[in-house]
């Protein structure tokens, strides 16, 4: 019988399509995150001198906060940087899983920062224990926790989906649907989606193994 940790460690990245992620920080700096030779490479992009970008940039703030549970919220870095929004939703704890985003109000909230790259090759499941522990601690203290990344679309959404699958034993489909209803813009990258489905399979296998062990013990 393989443990959940063994299954996570054995998860292969080789069949995932290589991809880069472009991130714009709050200061306007543009960086590209890529995975190469088992290492993360971060490259700063030089501003383009060519006039016109060919599309209309949306510079409006994304302050929409998805209420997954009354004590569990999902949002973007914009929401995490807007004190009025945080107070409106009575946030007490903030889980920051973005890359290159500093925590804004250290004296007002309890923070946990875990830098996760939004790449299909990123081992998302390896971050679950630390993320889940922080969320559970906030819940036990009757707090309200906001989970955010840069856009509140991929990383933070995937973490919350995984948390629901773990803490409430929800299926991947049910957890995804619940989070999607709370924040319709979510779209975890293909690698994260595959890992979440693998996580569901591992949990189901472990559940069946425990049932069989209980039966053997009772007999």
Catalytic member of 20, 53, 131, 149: 149
Long-range contacts of 76-81, Cβ-Cβ distance < 8 Å, separation of 24 or more: 76/148, 76/149, 76/150, 76/151, 76/152, 76/153, 77/26, 77/101, 77/148, 77/149, 77/150, 77/151, 77/152, 79/146, 79/148, 79/152, 80/104, 80/146, 80/148, 81/26
For 61, other C-beta atoms within 10 Å of its C-beta total 13
DSSP codes, 5-25:
HHHHHH---TTSPP-EEEEE-
Residue pair 96/114 in contact (Cβ under 8 Å)? The answer is yes
149 is catalytic: yes
Eight-class DSSP state of 40? E
Known catalytic residues are 149
């Amino acid at each position: 019988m393989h443990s959940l940790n063994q299954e996570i460690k054995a998860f292969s990245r080789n069949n995932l399509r290589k991809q880069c992620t472009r991130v714009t920080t709050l200061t306007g700096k543009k960086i590209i995150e890529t995975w190469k030779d088992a290492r993360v490479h971060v490259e700063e992009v030089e501003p383009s001198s060519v006039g016109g970008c060919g599309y209309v940039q949306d510079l409006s703030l994304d302050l929409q906060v998805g209420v997954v549970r009354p004590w569990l919220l999902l949002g973007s870095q914009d929401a995490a940087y807007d004190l009025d929004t945080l107070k409106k939703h009575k946030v007490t704890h903030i889980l920051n899983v973005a890359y290159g985003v500093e925590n804004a109000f250290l004296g007002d909230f309890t923070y946990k920062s875990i830098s996760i790259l939004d790449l299909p090759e990123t081992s998302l499941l390896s971050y679950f224990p630390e993320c889940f522990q922080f969320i559970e601690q906030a819940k036990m203290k009757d707090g309200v926790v906001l989970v955010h990344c840069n856009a509140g679309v991929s990383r933070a959404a995937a973490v919350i989906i995984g948390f629901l699958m773990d803490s409430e034993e929800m299926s991947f489909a049910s957890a995804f649907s619940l989070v999607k209803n709370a924040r319709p813009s979510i779209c975890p990258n293909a690698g994260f989606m595959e890992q979440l489905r693998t996580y569901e399979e591992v949990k189901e296998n472990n559940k069946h193994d425990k049932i069989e062990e209980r039966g053997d013990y009772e007999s």
